[in-house]
Structure 1
Amino acid sequence: MHQHTPSHFSVLLVEDDERTSAFLADNLAADGFSVAVATAAGEAVRQTEVRKPDLILLDLSLEQSSGLDVLDTIRCADGLASRIDPATPVIVLSGRVGEADRVRGFDRGVDDYVTKPFSYNELLGRMRAVLRRCSVRSERGVVRVGELTLDPMTRQVRLAGKPLHLSVKEFALLHHLSGDPTRVYPKADLLREVWGYLALGSTRTVDAHACRLRKKLSGTGRPFVLNVRGVGYRLTEGL
C-alpha cells in the first residue's frame, strides 16, 4: 500500500535500466512525487537546470559515463550561470557495495547511498529523511545576512527590502562570501573559486569587484563587505 506524500516534491530519476526506471517512476508517482527521468549524464544535467528538482536519485553506472560526473557538475555549480542549485540533495543508487565506494560517494557530496538491490520502502524512507533535512530548500536557498537577502536561483538581491542591481560577477562574489559570513576569504581563493582563475593571477580583479560591491551595498550607511587588510574579504551584518 502506498503512503501518499503530503508535499509536491519533485524527483529527478537518473537511471538507464528501463525496468528499474519504470518501477521507481511508477511507485514514486503513486506516492505523490512528481517524477522526471533521465537516462544519460548530459540529459540529467539539462533536466536539473530546467526542472530544479527537490531531490535526485542517481545511478552511478550510466551507460556512457559515471553518475559521479553528474554529481560533480551539480556540486561544482555556482547557482548562477548554470542555473543549478549546488545544494540539491542527491541519493546514489549503486550496485557497488564496498565501503570504499560508499566513502568515495560521501566524499564527493552525496546525501545518502543506497545499494542495489534495495527495498522500495527503505528507499522511500531515506528519501523522506533527506527531504526533511533539506527542507530549507523550500525557500530555494535564499540567504539572509542582516538586512541583506540573496536568492541564487533568481539572482535577486535586496537590501532593507529594496532591490539591488548587481553584475553576474558581483552577485557571484557576494553569494560566495555569504556562504560563511564569519569567515575571511583570501583574495587568491576568491579569484580561483569565483572567477575560476589559478591563484597565480593578479588579485586586482577581486579588489575592483569588491569595491563596486561595497558601494552598491552602502545604501544603509553601514558596511557589509569588509576588507581585512593583507588577507581578503568577509561579510558582516551591516552593524
Structure 2
Amino acid sequence: MGGLNGAVPEDRGLVLIVEDEGSIVELERLYLTGAGYGVHVETDGRRALDAVRRLRPAAVVLDVGLPGMNGVEVCRTLRAEGDWTPVIFVTARDDEVDRILGIELGADDYITKPFSPREVVARLGAIIRRTAGTADAGVRRVGPVTLDPGRRSASVGERRVSLTATEFDLLAQLMARPEQVFAREQLLSLVWGIADYSSSRTVDVHVAQLRTKLGPDGAIIRTVRGVGYAVGQPDG
C-alpha cells in the first residue's frame, strides 16, 4: 500500500511509516506531516523494502509485528544489503530482550506501544538532525580508528566498518573529546536527545555493538566503572 503519501516539504525529508494498524498510521502521519515531514506509508514488509530502495527516505518507522515479512526481517535485509537508513522499531512488547535484539539487528531506536506520537516525532528529529549535523565536522582519529563525519564513514585501518546512524553518532560523540569521560545520562541526552535515564541500558548495548564491530580495536572505548565511557588509546 503506498497511497497515504505526503509531499516532501522543505528540508525535513521523507519518512517511511511501515505499519498495518490504520489508526496508528493516521496518528503518526498527522503528527509527522504537522512537524514538516513528507510521509509515505506501507503496510507490508516486502513493499516496505521496495519503498526504501526506491524512495531513499530520511528514516523509517518500522512496526515489528507486520504480517508476512515482519519488521525484524525487513531491518535485517536492509542491513545485509548495506543500507543504513535510520530505523526506529515500534513494537507492542515492552521486553528488554526484544529491545536489545532490535539494536543488535541494526535499529537506531526502539519505541513500545502505546506511545506518544510526539515522542516519535522527537526521536526521529534527533536522529535526522544528528545525521545532518555532522557533515561539517573534521575527520577524527583515535589509534587505528578513523571517523569521517562528512562521509558518515568509519574505518579501522583499511577496513570499512558499517555502523547504524546511532552507533556512528555515539562513536563520533566519544571521539570528539578523547579521554573525556561521558556519563550514560550525558550520552542519552547528547546522542539520543532524551532524558529518560531508565533507558541507560540502551547506551551499554550500543557500546557493546560498537566494540564488536571495531574488533580488537574496540578497546579504545573504555568503561569507567560507575560513571560511563571514554575513548582513548587502550592501556598497554
TM-score, scaled relative to structure 2: 0.53
Kindly provide the CA deviation profile for residues 161-214 of structure 1, in whole angstroms up to 9, marking residues without a partner as x. Answer: xxxxxxxxxxxxxxxxx85261358xxxxxxxxxxxxxxxxxxxxxxxxxxxxx
Identify the match of residue 44 of structure 1 among 8, 27, 48: 48
Gaps of 5+ in 1: 79-85, 140-150, 152-177, 186-239
1:17 aligns with 2:21: yes
1:180 aligns with 2:155: yes
> Rg: which structure is higher?
1
Alignment-derived partner of residue 173 in structure 2: none
C-alpha separation between the residues in 1 aligned to 2:67 and 2:156?
A: 42
Q: 1:7 Cα shift?
A: 3.0
TM-score, scaled relative to structure 1: 0.53
C-alpha separation between the residues in 2 aligned to 1:184 and 1:10?
A: 32
Contact 2:61 2:88 in 1 (8 A): yes
C-alpha separation between the residues in 2 aligned to 1:10 and 1:62?
A: 21
Greater helix content: 2
> What one-letter code is carried by the residue in structure 1 that aligns with 2:81?
A
**What percentage of residue pairs aligned between the two structures are identical?**
31
Distance 1:8 1:132, change over 3 A: closer
Contact 2:35 2:121 in 1 (8 A): no
> What one-letter code is carried by the residue in structure 2 that aligns with 1:129?
A
> What one-letter code is carried by the residue in structure 2 that aligns with 1:110?
A
Q: Number of residues paired by the alignment?
A: 139
> What one-letter code is carried by the residue in structure 2 that aligns with 1:180?
S
C-alpha separation between the residues in 1 aligned to 2:134 and 2:21?
A: 29
Q: 1:133 Cα shift?
A: 2.1
Alignment-derived partner of residue 7 in structure 1: 11
Distance 1:41 1:183, change over 3 A: same
The alignment partner of 2:121 has SS state of helix
1:132 aligns with 2:133: no
Identify the match of residue 100 of structure 1 among 79, 94, 97: 97
Alignment-derived partner of residue 154 in structure 1: none
Kindly provide the CA deviation profile for residues 111-150 of structure 1, in whole angstroms up to 9, marking residues without a partner as x. Answer: 00001000111221111111122226979xxxxxxxxxxx
C-alpha separation between the residues in 1 aligned to 2:30 and 2:159?
A: 48
Where do 1:59-208 residues align within 5 Å? 59-78=63-82, 86-135=83-132, 180=155, 182-183=157-158
Gaps of 5+ in 2: 1-8, 137-150, 161-236
Q: Which runs of 4+ in 1 moved over 3 A?
A: 136-139
The alignment partner of 2:110 has SS state of strand
CA RMSD of aligned residues (A): 2.7
> Of the two structures, which has the highest relative contact order with CA contacts closer than 8 Å and spacing of 6 or more?
2
